[in-house]
Amino acid sequence: MSITGAHRDSNFSSDPPSEASSDPSFEHSSDLYSDLSKVSAIWRLNLRRAVGDRRVLFVAAALPIMLILVIGFVSGRNARAPLGVVVLDRGPIASRYVGLLKASDSVQVHLESSVASERDGVLRGTILSALVVPKGFDGAVRSGGPADLQVMARAGNTGSYAAQTAITAAFGVVSAEWSAARHLSATSGKPTAVEFSEISSTTNAVYRAAVAKFESDQPGPYSYTTPANLVLFVFLTLLVMASGLVETRRMGLLRRMLASPTRPSVVVLGELVSTAVMGLVQGIGLLVVGRLLFGVRWGDPVAVLLVVVVLAAAAAGASVLLGTVARSQEQAVAIGIVVAVALGMLGGCTWPLSTVGPLMRAVGHIAPQAWAMDAFVRLVFGHSGIGGILPDVGVLATFAAALVVLATVRLRAVAKADAAVV
């Protein structure tokens, strides 16, 4: 009897239910906790898969840093056009003129022994332009007349145009210095040559100060390539990671999740959140690398973080959408790479859209990457605050919302189809 009674008590107890079990808010909080736990489980699964895949780690970290380093080094090189110079006048004004050319940022002076060797250098392409400072150069400058400078250049080369500009600018400086020295000499009583030397020293000091001020205000050689590669590789990495969702479907993990008391919306949220967080981590990592390793001054930190967050959301939506469409991991990786690189090129990740025509610039802005790049350019080069990038972030957020909605609809459809199979 005691056993039967115990059995009756345990199954048919007449005691009222506990307050917690009958409270609707308790049930709601329990469901919420369960959903968050499942989202966390999906996140941990995707994280383990991403960390265990060397391809993802290479694309996410090693490759963008290498490209930033190489492209920044090449674009930051001081490309000075080689200029051959033959000096036939040994006067102080001619020496000053050659010194100004040597100090120029646009040409690299090669002193030639003769006009024949100089001409041969132009024909062979070892120098782009050639200059002959003739005898009587000092006398022409002293009299205020034109100097018979002989210039040879390779036609159609931008370096030749830069050399000709430097030749003309240096002549203008030395002529102005001599004219000022002559006027000062008339009032001070000092020889014109002494005044000319003093004015030249002042000009050199002013030039060095101006160059130092200009260079300190200019972004470094990595200031464009670093945000460009950040935008490119956040999309590239997350699209490659779409292969993980394909694998989840192929192995039946998605069906197993849906066979449990898990709503399709929880699966959708878990995939979107986990993908977006990984994109956000990658973006923040490249921000830190760009600042510490490449000296990029990003600007307003709140505005920069906002751009990265919205960018990661857009890339996550595109990644989940691709993961529901691709039929194999290989197909997801191939499509992801092609789409990410093509949209990156179109959106200004390989060259600034400011250098292309209006039509190409408008076409480029069909890619979300273009709006992210516009925001970074305003922050890094224009020193804008969060107000200055809100239009760009708004359009990027629209892209993100559209991609997330499409991914949600598609993944819910796939999840329901898999649930029907179960």
Q: Residue 66: enclosing H or E segment and its boundaries? A: helix 63-75
pLDDT digits (tens, 9 = 90+) for 110-154: 898 888 888 888 888 788 888 999 999 999 899 887 788 888 877
Share of the chain above pLDDT 70, in %: 75
CA separation for the pair 100, 179 (Å, rounded): 17
Cβ(264)–Cβ(258) under 8 Å?
Answer: yes
Place of tokens 């383990």: 48
Helices (H), 104-191: 115-124, 137-143, 158-188
Tell me, rounded to whole angstroms, the distance of Cα 256 from its chain centroid: 41
Structure tokens at 67: 């490209």
pLDDT at residue 16, as a whole number = 45
Contacts of 179 by beta carbon, 8 Å cutoff, 6+ apart? 144
Closest CA to 230 of 60, 102, 358: 60
Cβ(68)–Cβ(116) under 8 Å?
Answer: no
Domain extents for the chain? 36-73+221-421, 77-217
**Helix 92-103 / helix 192-217 crossing angle, nearest 10 deg:** 0
Closest CA to 327 of 415, 422, 249: 249
- pLDDT by residue for the chain (422 residues), tens digit each? 333 333 333 333 344 444 444 444 444 455 666 667 766 767 676 667 666 666 666 666 667 777 777 766 555 455 678 889 999 998 999 999 999 998 887 788 989 888 888 888 888 878 888 899 999 999 989 988 778 888 887 765 666 777 888 888 888 899 999 999 999 988 888 899 899 999 988 888 877 776 566 555 556 678 888 899 999 999 998 998 888 888 877 777 777 766 666 666 777 788 888 888 888 988 999 999 888 888 889 999 999 999 999 999 999 999 989 988 888 888 988 999 899 999 999 999 988 888 888 899 999 999 999 999 999 999 998 889 999 999 999 999 999 999 988 988 887 777 666 655 55
pLDDT at residue 240, as a whole number = 86
Helices (H), 347-382: 358-364, 368-380
Place of tokens 């993961």: 323
Q: Residue 82: enclosing H or E segment and its boundaries? A: strand 81-87
Contacts of 348 by beta carbon, 8 Å cutoff, 6+ apart? 228, 364, 369, 370, 373, 374
Q: Residue 81: enclosing H or E segment and its boundaries? A: strand 81-87
pLDDT digits (tens, 9 = 90+) for 298-315: 999 999 999 999 999 999
Contacts of 178 by beta carbon, 8 Å cutoff, 6+ apart? 93, 141, 142, 192, 196
215, HSE (Cβ side, Cα atoms, 13 Å): 10
Which CATH architecture does the domain made up of 77-217 adopt?
A: 3-Layer(aba) Sandwich (3.40)
CA separation for the pair 60, 65 (Å, rounded): 9
pLDDT at residue 17, as a whole number = 44
CA separation for the pair 249, 417 (Å, rounded): 11
pLDDT at residue 27, as a whole number = 45
